[in-house]
Amino acid sequence: MNENKETQILESLDLELRRGTIVLSVLSQLKQPQYGYSLVVLLEDKGFKIDPGTLYPLLRRLEKQELLNSHWDTEGTKPRKYYVLSDMGNSIYSKLTEQWLDVVKKINYLIRSEKDE
Amino acid sequence: MNENKETQILESLDLELRRGTIVLSVLSQLKQPQYGYSLVVLLEDKGFKIDPGTLYPLLRRLEKQELLNSHWDTEGTKPRKYYVLSDMGNSIYSKLTEQWLDVVKKINYLIRSEKDE
DNA sequence: TATCATACTGTACGGCACACACTATTGTCA
DNA sequence: TGACAATAGTGTGTGCCGTACAGTATGATA
């Protein structure tokens, strides 16, 4: 009973932890064009499960913010919408990466300094 | 103009990035009892600005979830509410730390693997 | 004693972003 | 043909943070 509660809290905290990193992980895979479904598979392969219902709206938002360009490929059997980093997307991605590394450094410091005592 | 837009997007992404880490950073400082204001100062010293209006509700939420215990100190000049990790809080904190390290590892892998090509 | 700054805690509200649970379409293969 | 995979999309609910504001007590100052 208490176990369940703890597990549940942990899950939601873990969710929160991954939340902010979603954009970063998506951007990191879009130097090469990808379509939604391929991204889901690709990220899952690398350890990131992302719900399609989360990813699709995200891609559209990022396109609207002009971090991504997109085009439809109607050649193949099925129409696919490919997304790729725009110039601004590239710029933001590299800056966001720096911020990420900064956050990691600081958190690790907090975690470690508490362990040293 | 475009600079502003990019800056603005970066800021909100950065915000999102730190969001999930707030709980972790707060928990990491609560092996020793702290009151709200001292936490704000402590975290700021270590590079984490956190708005009091963010922290106070957070502390109460964590207490309600029983990750923290609290008591009022009415001895001093002003009443202060001290918070400290509960047993469950301790347990969750250490598990959350592991999850954090896992996320870091995966993200770093994503970032790095894209750079290697 | 009136007033002002500062330490300290608290509440209300808005907005954003994700998860989840759907719908819809097309192709494929049994 | 019927079921399932691939692919894209939408709508709703919920949680959480930031911003802004309110409130109290203390000590200083004049």
User: What Å distances lie between residue A68 and A42, A89, B90, B107, B116, CA to CA?
Assistant: 18, 6, 42, 20, 22
Give residues with Cβ within 8 angstroms of A110, minimum separation 6: B24, B25, B28, B29, B46, B48
Q: What number is the average pLDDT over the span B62-83?
A: 84
Could you report the per-residue pLDDT of A5-64, keeping only the tens digit for each? 888 889 889 988 998 899 999 999 999 999 999 999 999 988 888 999 999 999 999 999
pLDDT of residue B115: 56
Chains A, B: CB contacts within 8 A come to: 119
Which residues in chain A have their CB less than 8 angstroms from residue B91's CB? 6
CB atoms within 10 A of CB A98: 9
Q: Hey, what are A51's tokens?
A: 């719900």
Tokens 């085009």: give the residue: A71
Walk me through the domains of chain B, giving residue ranges and CATH numbers: 2-116 (1.10.10.10)
Kindly list the residues from chain B whose CB atom is less than 8 angstroms away from the CB atom of residue A24.
13, 17, 107, 110-111
Q: If residue B68 lies in a helix (H) or strand (E), which one and from where to where?
A: strand B68-73
pLDDT at A96: 93
* Residue of B47, B96, B110 lying closest to A10 (CB–CB): B96
Closest approach of B12 to chain A, Cα-based (Å): 10
Is the minimum distance from the CB of A36 to strand D below 7 Å? Answer: yes
Give the pLDDT confidence score for residue B49 in this predicted structure: 87
Q: Which residues of B10-37 are buried (b: 16+ CB within 10 A; e: fewer)?
A: eeebbebbbebbbbbbbbbbbeebbbbe
User: What does the DSSP 8-state code read for residue B18?
Assistant: H
Cα B104 from Cα A48, distance rounded (Å): 12
Chain B residues in contact with A67 (beta carbon < 8 A)? 9
Helix, coil or strand: residue B117 = coil
